Structure 1
Amino acid sequence: MTTYDAILLSSFGGPEGQDDVIPFLRNVTRGRGIPDERLEEVAHHYRHHGGVSPINEQNRQLKAALEAELARRGIDLPIHWGNRNWQPYFTDAVLEAHEAGHDRLLALVTSAYTSYSGVGQYREDFERALAENGLTGTMSIDRVREYFDHPGFVTPLVEGVEAAVAELTGGSAASTEAGADAVAREDVHLLFVTHSIPSAAAEASGPQFGKGGAYVAQHCALAHAISEVEARDAGEAVADIPWSLVYQSRSGDPRTPWLEPDINDAIADLAVDGHTKAVVIVPFGFVSDHMEVMWDLDNEALTTAAENGLRALRVPTPGTHPAFVSGLVDLIEERLNDVPSDQRPHVTELGPWPDHDPVGTRREKVAAR
């Protein structure tokens, strides 16, 4: 049985007012020498929403939901919350934990997949937070495994896909109330969308998985699994619904190859082929409806679909869905009880993803009582 003193809810962070936007974007792009005038090109996404990213409030809600579920299960572990790019920063969260006597932390990272930003960069963040507080030899930070194919993460997405297909094809109360013409199932296309990253970074995430590395392999495996579950639950005809893996939010030097196709290009191509009348946008690369979901999908992608004469619905992200919250606590218990790999739940052939080595001192173990 592995002992921990507390949970570290670990996230990206976001601005909470107009004055925060440029300082936040400087944090996100630190070390790249990007001038403020270029940052302002991205800032308008946040300024459109009053300078407030929804991600911090979503993390407050997630923290409260996790605390309630831990209490329900009788797990006495407090939660400290830290961000990479905005308050509360990891450095502050780690110090807060130490001052409370919590020196063995288990991190819940709000990133489900394997990539530098989702794994390696968080590890560097943890190492830096310990070092800046002089706690490298005193504290340790473990993290739960990547949970891209854990049932708790997958269930809300499956439910969202089923609901969207039913609404588009006239099989739900929502479609009846909306009064929109139903489309045939064979005229629907599922667009599984995630954040684009440089192609080289994708390859580095796990070269043994072939082109695109572990990052692409995980997304492809999950898209296939979701489409199969949706097909079994909603009827045999749904098995014929085609799907594509697409990307969003590319940035940086346009000369650098990034993962493609962009979702807007994919939507335009589907409109041209003449076989698609509606698309279901599945933002399965994200755990909550943060700014890139709200702007890049709810604004740009839905606009692209409308301009191309396609109906479009966007599936909700897991957020604080009860299954997701319960699944995250399952992952905590998995580490507390050193659950063997062959007993860890997963819905793809790639899972369960292995654990990572802790940051800081070696973790301590005690005999199970």
Structure 2
Amino acid sequence: MGSVTELEAFLARLSREPDIDAPELQAYDAADLLLLDAARSLKLRDGDVVVVGDRHGALTLGLLHETALRGLRVHQDGVLGERALTSNATRVLGASPAQQTELFQHHPLGSSLFGGATLVVMQLPRSLSELEEIAWHIATHASPDVVVIAGGRDKHMSHSMNERLGRYFGEVTASRGWRKARMLTARGAIRPLGDPPFALHARDPELDFDLFAFGATFGGTAFDHGSRLLVQTLRERPPSPDPTHIVDLGCGNGVLAVTAALQWPRARVLATDQSAAAVAATKLTAQAAGVADRVEVHRADATDSVPTGWADLVLLNPPFHTGATVHTAVAHRLMRAVPRVLQPGGELRLVFNSGLGYRPLVERIIGPTTQLARNRTFTVLSSIAR
């Protein structure tokens, strides 16, 4: 690979905001550089190039910077990634909203994203299910001669990724490693037969409803251990009086939102998540459980879609990482968004890894806090808004 000094200088100007930003985090990585270098040597036509999994705009804006391309089609599961891309396009390229529409457009997974595409440039997701869902859509909708270049960090890649791509492409090859990153190239799309493999669904013995998930839904169809302990406290130590306006903050597959809707039949539930796959999964989980009329689901950053002072109960099982990096800032950001939406006397019911010690923060920003449950891994707290 040749010199990337000028390209790196360009990418170094990108910001992760509004996603978590910190000195140890950056808006691009070596996989982005590999992909951009490879894309320059391929046949590129306006409107035929698709970018998937661009975390903060490095791939999309890098392609625009390095080539004369226009009309890129982009899919980012997370709304924070979308906002980072548009913000960086304004700040670094000086592109107005109207100009950005000419340069790139956001699409959901499906035919509008991949229809007729000849090149797909993507950051490899860590989830094999997400990779398979993307590969299925490419093989189904893209041009038969589509080329897929997918990059990732060595420590997050496995031969299973080659195998998943190999289900939908006749040829999958791996590049040499560079700066602890490498790239997979897939050609010879094999058009799938039958229905798409997603959404998945499964039922846990402790639940009376199925959990649904798409490839990028965090945790898939699992009833994770943290949510399991939180649900146990809802059943054994429910809020009093019964809540009527409930928020599931970071709803994932919808297990907390639907549990709350079933436990309190008169309650309205607002479920929010920045992930498009989580929002779609929660909608299916609520529909299958028969509570879709009372569970409203939004793709949003934290509590952006929740009116001020609306909630008398907020349920939160926050992540402890950002992307592949363990980082508590994501959870802190979500917790700091809670006070605005809680009514006086409203409750935050929070579960977290016990070693993270969130109690001082929630006591300070919300109010009196009680430990409701603790096991070898997780703690559940109840914090009452002042």
- TM > 0.5: no
Whose strand proportion is higher, 1 or 2?
2
The one of the two structures with greater contact order (alpha-carbon pairs below 8 A, sep at least 6) is: 1
TM bucket normalised to smaller:
0.3 to 0.5
Scaled by the length of structure 1, the TM-score of the pair is: 0.33
Scaled by the length of structure 2, the TM-score of the pair is: 0.32
Whose helix proportion is higher, 1 or 2?
1
